[in-house]
Amino acid sequence: MIRELFKRLHLRDRQLARVVNIGTPYLWLGLFFLAPFAIVLHISLAETALAQPPYTSLWEWVDDGVLQVRLNLQNFVTVFSDELYLAAFLNSLWVALVCTILCLLIGYPMAYAIATAPERRRVILLMLIILPFWTSFLIRVYAWIGILKPNGLLNNLLLSLGLIDQPLTILHTQTAIYIGVVYSYLPFMILPLFANLTRLDFSLLEAAADLGCRPFKAFLKVTLPLSLPGIVAGSMLVFIPVVGEFVIPDLLGGPDSLMIGKMLWTEFFSNKDWPLAAALAICLLGILVVPFVMMQRLEQRIGGDEL
Amino acid sequence: MTNPAERRKLEPWQDPKAAPYVRIDHVTKKFGDVYAVDDVSLDIFQGEFFSLLGSSGCGKSTLLRMLAGLERPSAGRIYIDGADVTDIPAYSRPVNMMFQSYALFPHMTVEQNVEFGLKQDRMPRKERAERVGEMLALLQISELRRRKPDQLSGGQRQRVALARTLAKHPKLLLLDEPLGALDKRLRESAQFELVNLQERIGITFVTVTHDQEEAMTMSTRIAVMNAGQILQVDTPTAIYEYPEYRFVADFIGLVNLFDGRVMETQDDQVLIESSLGRRLHMRDLHPHAIGTPVTVAIRPEKMQICSTYQENGINQVKGVVEDIAYLGDVSIYRVRVSPEMLVEMTLTNVHPRTEQALTWGQEVAMEWSPTSGVVLTE
């Protein structure tokens, strides 16, 4: 189809194919990342106004053809000086870190088990990992409210087993956020790890054993270093979205949970302070770029050897 | 001529008092319902270069993996140096294996690969560095020490794999198709290197191969396997010249097989009425009773052009050259002797090919001597 089009345009196939090949991702990035980013950056430098949209313009014509540009940095000053935002950032990073580690600890053995399972069982196990995606994310998180609430499934089970006398308060705590996040993001850890571990040459482990290495040490010396690209990919896929996660802290964490995604939501929709919300978003992006670049570096360093 | 004592040293399996270094005692390995190795018993002696030869799926690799401890026998015991190692895991056995794929650790340099086994033994750093240097020098790969496996050629990888297995100074070295990944020329030089190395360091080698040429060049003895069982264990010469089974004769090199029936026997001489409609006179080392159906196996290079051909002559056959395979040093002639039978004859190309007398469609008579083949029943 596209070829036909090229021919009609009297362009050489290869030349145009190259333009399309390189151009498409750039177009995509420009349209759906750079343009929105520019808009958000633009809003973050404006002031709140009782208008539609609720912020002032950055530039206006004053007399004699002079263009006056007003960049308001107050929003960024607020973000960095108000301890509430700082605490929210730190807590978000902490939650993301804890959840990434938990996902890794739970996900690695699962990915390993799937990768080493017989072919037929592997397909079923992979299906089970992907199956939850068939239900809406929101519904699955709501379901956790029913499980975790004071007279919910979990508490009733523990009470009936006689393990506790009083219902545990889990819902609306940080623990509930951990549970919800780990549950929701586990597949994003398992899938890249699985993809990596299926490519692992198990004769390497036999070679290690043959050279006198016990199974656990062989895991540490051979399997783990070789699966590092999978660990990095999975960790990024969990860490980065969890830092900005809004739905889970809002539903499971209750009104007092300090997560930056939730702050952003509040500023944007409740307080109608678009410029401050935009400044928060810019800062969040800035924070996420750091681990992203670090991991990219790491992946390049180790990736060249075995990928 | 070697005296008997020397002969015992060179061929310890001839010495009834010699204790085997590796003893495989009625070992069976089942995968589900399939017998990969079926009740195999085998003794291998110190300093041997022993080859397990067979087509793929014959159980030779499984047998080797059981020696390494990577598979557990379903039944039977394995002894190494007198000790029962059947239940000892791979990481505690005094055995090292070179894998068919080489299984080099891709995230480690050549040096680190070779050092890996030594580290597991907690060898002191200084000693370790010395040993690694020694191994790299032995296999002439010192200049590659900082490279990673994906920066090496096939031949270099093979050397690294060998250095890694040799580094621990194992008493028994197992090689799984060690030269399988190399091209023919590299392979030939590697074969000689392996044999030299084995003679120099004097350890026991057990190797698995499907390549009969490789087995012939390198081995002190060969075990020919088929369908999980060992058919014959012998020196390369004996395996080639005196096969005990049709399968062995057919598997190693080219062979002409003539079916027939024993007519007369006298001492170790036997007269056979063959399906060619001719009589064959052979020496038979295991005399068979009159009337036994037998197969006579003659190698193509034992065939000679016959100058005094007679109708119904003994050990003679006549046919028409149908096919010539020119191999440079020799040519293989496929001669149609009856509508259902082709006989192969190998002749050395003494004269340039263009000046040779024998050509397509030509009638040729062939003969062989009674000692140039064997009489088989199975």
CA A99 to chain centre: 11
What count of Cα atoms within 13 Å lies in the side-chain half-sphere of residue A217?
14
Q: Concatenated DSSP letters for B130-174?
A: HHHHHHHHHTT-GGGTT--GGGS-HHHHHHHHHHHHHTT--SEEE
CA distances from B21 to B35, B80, B95, B99 (A): 26, 6, 12, 22
Q: Select from B175, B158, B201 the least CA-distant residue to B47.
A: B201
In a domain, A198, yes or no: yes
- With respect to residue A109, please indicate whether it lies within any of the assigned structural domains: yes
Q: Is residue A236 part of a domain?
A: yes
Report how far apart, in Å, the C-alpha atoms of B191 and of each of A11, A43, A48, B257, B370 are: 58, 74, 82, 31, 34
pLDDT tens digits, one per residue of A54-78: 888 888 888 788 888 888 899 999 9
Confidence (pLDDT) at B1: 45
Tokens of B369: 């001597």
- Residues facing A252 on adjacent strands: none
Secondary structure class of A7 (helix, strand, coil): helix
The secondary structure element, H or E, covering residue B274 is: strand B269-274
Fold category of B255-376 in CATH? OB fold (Dihydrolipoamide Acetyltransferase, E2P) (2.40.50)
pLDDT value at A300 more than 80 = no
| Three-state secondary structure call for residue B347 | strand
Residue B143 contacts A where some CB pair is shorter than 8 Å: no
Residue contact B91–A206, C-beta within 8 A: no
ipTM rounded to 2 decimals: 0.82
User: Residue A5: pLDDT band by 50, 70, 90 thresholds?
Assistant: low
CB pairs under 8 A between A and B: 65
Mutate to test the interface with A, among B66, B67, B98, B99 (most CBs of A within 10 A): B99
CA A208, A209, A213, A219: dihedral to nearest 10 degrees?
70
pLDDT at A307: 37
Contact, B42 vs B230, CB < 8 A? yes
| pLDDT of A11 | 57
Separation CA A211–CA B105 (nearest Å): 12
In chain B, residues with a C-beta closer than 8 Å to the C-beta of A306 are 106-107, 150
Task: Decide if A206 and B90 are in contact by the 8 Å CB cutoff.
Answer: yes
Say whether pTM exceeds 0.95.
no
Q: pLDDT band for position B84 (50/70/90)? A: very high
Task: Say if the Cβ atoms of A211 and B148 lie within 8 Å.
Answer: no
Could you list the residue range(s) of the whole structural domain that residue A294 is in?
83-306
Question: Does residue A19 belong to any structural domain of this protein?
Answer: no
Check whether A6 has a pLDDT greater than 80. no
CATH architecture of B18-247: 3-Layer(aba) Sandwich (3.40)
The pLDDT of residue B68 is above 80? yes
Query: Considering only residues 120 to 139 of chain B, which have any Cβ-Cβ distance to chain A shorter than 8 Å?
Result: 120-121
The residue-averaged pLDDT of A149-168 equals: 90
Question: In the predicted model, is pLDDT for residue B257 greater than 50?
Answer: yes
**pLDDT tens for each residue of B95-142:** 999 998 899 999 999 999 999 999 999 999 999 999 999 899 888 899
Task: Give pLDDT, residue B15.
Answer: 81
Q: Which of B68, B105, B121 sits opposite A204 (nearest CB)?
A: B105
Instruction: Answer positive or negative: Cα dihedral of A14, A20, A23, A24.
Output: negative
Taking CB atoms and an 8 Å limit, are B91 and A214 in contact across chains? yes
Q: What are the boundaries of each domain within chain B?
A: 18-247, 255-376
DSSP string, A207-257: HHHHTT--HHHHIIIIIHHHTHHHHHHHHHHHHHHHHT--HHHHHHS-TT-
Smallest CA–CA distance, residue A196 to chain B, in Å, is 14
Nearest to B106 among A206, A217, A306 (CB): A306
Nearest-CA distance from A219 to chain B in Å? Answer: 13
If one compares A89 and A255, the residue with the highest pLDDT of the two is A89
Please report, for the domain that includes residue A263, its CATH number: 1.10.3720.10
The pLDDT value given to residue B112 = 95
CB-based contact B111:B132 (threshold 8 Å): yes
Q: Is the pLDDT of residue A305 over 60?
A: no
CA distance A104 to chain B (A): 22
For chain A, give the percent of residues with pLDDT over 90. 57
Task: For residue A44, tell me if it sits in a domain.
Answer: no
Q: How many domains are there within chain A? A: 1
Over the stretch A199-217, which tens digit does the pLDDT of each residue have? 999 999 999 999 999 999 9
> Which H or E run includes B116?
helix B110-120
**pLDDT of the residue at B298:** 92
Residue of A nearest to B91 (CA): A212
**Mean of the per-residue pLDDT values of chain A:** 89
B116 in contact with A at a CB cutoff of 8 Å? Answer: yes
Q: Is the residue at A180 inside a domain? A: yes
Q: Which residues contact B114 (CB under 8 A, 6 or more apart)?
A: B132, B135, B136, B160, B163, B164, B167
The mean pLDDT value of chain B amounts to 88
Three-class DSSP category at B17: coil
